[in-house]
Amino acid sequence: MAIASPRDYMKLVPTVQATPQNSVWLTYDAEADVLYVNFDKPGIATDSDLTDDDVIIRYQGSDIIGYTILHASKRK
């Protein structure tokens, strides 16, 4: 299994700092080619929206608690 270098992960620091809890959990499902991005663990969504570019925005009340990115490996 190839592991990204620490420099690749350091690029995420500004994004993590911008999240409400300064935390991000990433899970990639290779079989489904879906990347799950969660800002709250456990995060139980009460609503969601599908964007035009196949990203599901998950909400708990009015707060965004995560994204589900479909066709993740085809993105740059």
pTM beyond 0.85, yes or no: no
- The mean pLDDT of 68-73, rounded to a whole number, is 96
Q: What is the 3-state secondary structure (H, E, C) of 3-68?
A: CCCHHHHHCCHHHHHCCCCCCCEEEEECCCCEEEEECCCCCCCCEEEECCCCEEEEEECCEEEEEE
Q: What is the tens place of the pLDDT at every residue in 2-24?
A: 677 888 888 888 988 888 778 88
- The answer to whether residues 37 and 66 touch, using CB atoms and an 8 Å cutoff, is yes
- Residue 20: closest CA among 1, 36, 3, 43: 43
Which band of pLDDT confidence, cut at 50, 70 and 90, is reported for residue 30? very high
Per-residue pLDDT at 1 exceeds 80: no
Q: What is the tens place of the pLDDT at every residue in 33-65?
A: 999 999 877 778 999 999 999 999 999 999 899
**How many CB atoms are located within 10 Å of the residue 48 CB?**
14
The larger pLDDT score, comparing residue 71 to residue 41, is at: 71
